[in-house]
């Protein structure tokens, strides 16, 4: 077992007071009022980060952009980031014999040469009725509604 793995494993046996002291040592800040389990996981991450290095510059820039996009968004309900395809992805949906192509942007979607905030708004435009956009485009399943999945290109 590597020294880092041993150090991380030992976190499980530390008291809450010991974890708080480690937090001060590793983060040089007062520990937040988190539960013991969360603190142990955060400390394990910090130990690995200091040993192996943190996020790459590209990853940090992407996170900064995502935070800025989220703060600038006027939309209250959004898909969880993991459910939104990567920017540049094309969603293709055929509806009543007509092909509809949507391009995922970093801050919304493009459809019919126009920027849209949500897939639901696009689905409403296409169908003329309310649809859950992620269901309509096959990104999420709904029990009552088995919309055929969109093709991702």
User: Looking at the structure, do residues 139 and 86 belong to the same domain, yes or no?
Assistant: yes
Residue 29 lies in a domain: yes
Query: What pLDDT score does 144 carry?
Result: 42
> Could you tell me the strand order of the sheet in which 98-105 lies?
114-116, 108-111, 98-105, 90-95, 151-152
User: Looking at the structure, do residues 90 and 144 belong to the same domain, yes or no?
Assistant: yes
Contact yes or no for 104/118 (Cβ under 8 A): no
Residue 65 lies in a domain: no
User: Looking at the structure, do residues 94 and 147 belong to the same domain, yes or no?
Assistant: yes
User: Looking at the structure, do residues 39 and 86 belong to the same domain, yes or no?
Assistant: no
Residue 123 lies in a domain: yes
For the chain, what is the domain count?
2
Per DSSP, the three-state class of 115 is strand
Query: What does each of the 153 residues of the chain score in pLDDT, given as a tens digit?
Result: 888 899 999 999 999 999 999 999 988 888 888 888 889 999 998 999 888 888 888 888 888 888 888 877 655 555 454 467 888 888 999 999 999 999 988 888 999 999 999 999 999 999 999 988 888 888 877 654 444 555 555
What residues make up the domain containing 17?
3-52
Q: Give the helix ranges, DSSP H, for 73-108.
A: none
User: Looking at the structure, do residues 48 and 85 belong to the same domain, yes or no?
Assistant: no
């Amino acid at each position: 077992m590597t020294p880092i793995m041993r150090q991380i494993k030992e976190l499980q046996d530390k008291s809450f007071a010991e974890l708080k002291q480690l937090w001060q040592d590793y983060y040089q800040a007062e520990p937040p009022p988190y539960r013991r389990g969360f603190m142990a996981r955060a400390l394990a991450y910090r130990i690995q980060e200091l040993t192996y290095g943190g996020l790459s510059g590209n990853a940090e820039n992407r996170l900064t952009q995502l935070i800025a996009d989220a703060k600038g968004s006027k939309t209250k309900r959004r898909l969880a980031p993991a459910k939104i395809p990567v920017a540049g992805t094309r969603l293709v949906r055929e509806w009543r014999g007509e092909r509809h192509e949507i391009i995922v942007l970093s801050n919304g979607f493009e459809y019919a040469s126009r920027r849209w905030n949500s897939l639901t708004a696009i689905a409403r435009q296409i169908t003329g009725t309310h649809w859950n956009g992620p269901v309509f485009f096959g990104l999420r399943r709904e029990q009552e509604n088995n919309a055929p999945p969109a093709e991702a290109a």
